[in-house]
Amino acid sequence: MRDYIRDAVGLRISEFDLFVGMDVDKHRIAVTVNDRDSSIKSLCIPYDAGNLLSFIRNEYPSRRVLFVYEAGPTGFGLHDAITRAGYPCVVASPGNIPSAPNDRVKTNRLDSRKLATSLAGNGLKCVHVPSEPIRQLRSLVHLRYTYMQDIRAYKCRIKAYLLKEGMAFPPCPKGGHWSRSVIAALRNMDCDPVSGVVIHSMLDHLEHLKKQLSLAEVALKSFVSGDEELSRCVGYLMSCPGIGWRIACYTLARLGDWKHLGRSYEAGAFFGLVPCENSTGDRTDRGRITKGGDPRLRSMLIQGAWAAIRKDSELKAFYERICENHPKRLAARVAIVAVARELAERMCSVLKQQRRYDLRIAA
């Protein structure tokens, strides 16, 4: 087994004497101290990094200590406090923590012991902790996406209410379901007073959500343009065909610091665009895509792939070649996912190489 902790650059298991596993919730931290052979001590303390660090300093003043906890809703505040105090800390990926199939008992204490034992045996896959600008970028892109979801949901609620009351949606051209004229027609519909109050209230809330979405987009653009490195990286991503500033910002927020990117061909697996595989011996069995990673970003990349094949001749030829090798009923769907995977790899390449994409114009 490799001595280096997987995905945690620069840390070697052999350099440490003690391994502290922590299971964190919003009120408490369950702590287990492991010395590589067995658990030395287990305790539960309030969620306060100061108490945790005081305990380690008092109990193990001359020991080399490595901390670990599972990534979760508490964020990276505990990691920041521990590293500022001079101790190394890694954050484990929840989906890659080893677990026995017959393990049916789960408590905070047992979870902290599992983390400490797995870390001592170098059995954890850790995540790169994003820098502060990347965390703020993630917050803004998630805020924007939340408003988009709320707007979509509220439009469905309005249509559902009209259907329930037996009222027809105003006539509109293709693609103009929520234009100003349609919203004005909805406000002026001939209906009973109660239905009028409900419709006007829902339309007012829809307009409020649209304003909040606009404010979130302005804040996102302002934040990116105010950070030189983020602005440069977004520009490189936008040079790829089919990638606008929204997809570029979301991709950068999920990928994090470009200096930590691995090999470009691994991007497909990160976005969940590679096929599942269950092969053995001479038999090769591949199925649908894994759908790992962020489903929203994967959907964005597939949308961008449709625009990319209209602009890039290489991607267009790649799409057509994939279509020819699959049945007609599946060809377009399989081919566009393959294009999205290829596009993801090229986006990672331009970030790693810090250069713009060389576009081949489609005929």
User: What CATH number is associated with residue 54?
Assistant: 3.30.420.10
> Which residues form the domain of 277?
230-353
For 150-164, the pLDDT digits (tens) are 999 999 999 999 999
Same-domain pairing of 235 and 282: yes
Residue type, 57: R
For 72-120, the pLDDT digits (tens) are 888 999 999 999 999 999 999 888 888 878 878 889 999 999 999 999 8
Same-domain pairing of 94 and 150: no
* Segment 190-195 mean pLDDT: 91
Same-domain pairing of 222 and 306: no
* Segment 199-218 mean pLDDT: 96
- What Cα–Cα distance (Å) separates residue 89 from each residue in 67, 116, 196, 264? 5, 12, 58, 27
For 21-70, the pLDDT digits (tens) are 999 998 999 999 998 878 788 999 999 899 999 999 999 998 999 999 99
pLDDT (0 to 100) of residue 361: 59
Question: For tokens 């509220």, what's the residue?
Answer: 154
Q: How far is the C-alpha of 269 from the C-alpha of 126, rounded, in Å?
A: 17
pLDDT (0 to 100) of residue 105: 86
pLDDT (0 to 100) of residue 346: 92
Contact between 13 and 118 under an 8 Å Cβ cutoff? The reply is: no
The last residue of one of the domains, among 96, 127, 158, is 127
Domain count for the chain, please give it: 3
The confidence band for 1, taking pLDDT boundaries of 50, 70 and 90, is very low
Same-domain pairing of 121 and 136: no
* Segment 188-216 mean pLDDT: 94
DSSP H helical segments within 165-312, as ranges?
180-187, 193-226, 228-238, 245-255, 267-270, 295-308
Q: How far is the C-alpha of 181 from the C-alpha of 184, rounded, in Å?
A: 5
Q: How far is the C-alpha of 235 from the C-alpha of 345, rounded, in Å?
A: 16
Same-domain pairing of 235 and 335: yes
Same-domain pairing of 104 and 196: no
Residue 4 lies in a domain: no
pLDDT (0 to 100) of residue 331: 92
The confidence band for 9, taking pLDDT boundaries of 50, 70 and 90, is low
Residue 259 lies in a domain: yes
pLDDT (0 to 100) of residue 106: 87
**214: closest CA among 144, 305, 274?**
144
Same-domain pairing of 240 and 162: no
Residue 359 lies in a domain: no
Percent of the chain with pLDDT over 90: 65
Same-domain pairing of 294 and 306: yes
Contact between 297 and 273 under an 8 Å Cβ cutoff? The reply is: no
* Segment 203-208 mean pLDDT: 96
Contact between 167 and 196 under an 8 Å Cβ cutoff? The reply is: no
For 288-300, the pLDDT digits (tens) are 888 888 899 999 9
Residue 6 lies in a domain: no
Same-domain pairing of 246 and 336: yes
Residue 361 lies in a domain: no
pLDDT (0 to 100) of residue 303: 94
For 299-352, the pLDDT digits (tens) are 999 999 999 999 999 999 999 999 998 898 989 999 999 999 999 999 999 999
Higher pLDDT: 360 or 9? It is 360
Same-domain pairing of 215 and 166: yes
Contact between 19 and 66 under an 8 Å Cβ cutoff? The reply is: yes
pTM, 2 dp: 0.87
Same-domain pairing of 216 and 250: no
Greatest mean pLDDT among 165-179, 274-288, 345-359: 345-359
Same-domain pairing of 29 and 97: yes
The last residue of one of the domains, among 80, 99, 127, is 127
Residue 40 lies in a domain: yes
Which backbone phi and psi does 289 adopt, to 5 degrees? -65, 155
* Segment 163-191 mean pLDDT: 89
Residue 71 lies in a domain: yes
The last residue of one of the domains, among 226, 242, 272, is 226
Rg of the Cα atoms in the chain: 26
Residue 66 lies in a domain: yes
For 224-282, the pLDDT digits (tens) are 999 999 999 999 999 999 999 999 999 999 998 888 888 888 888 889 998 888 888 77
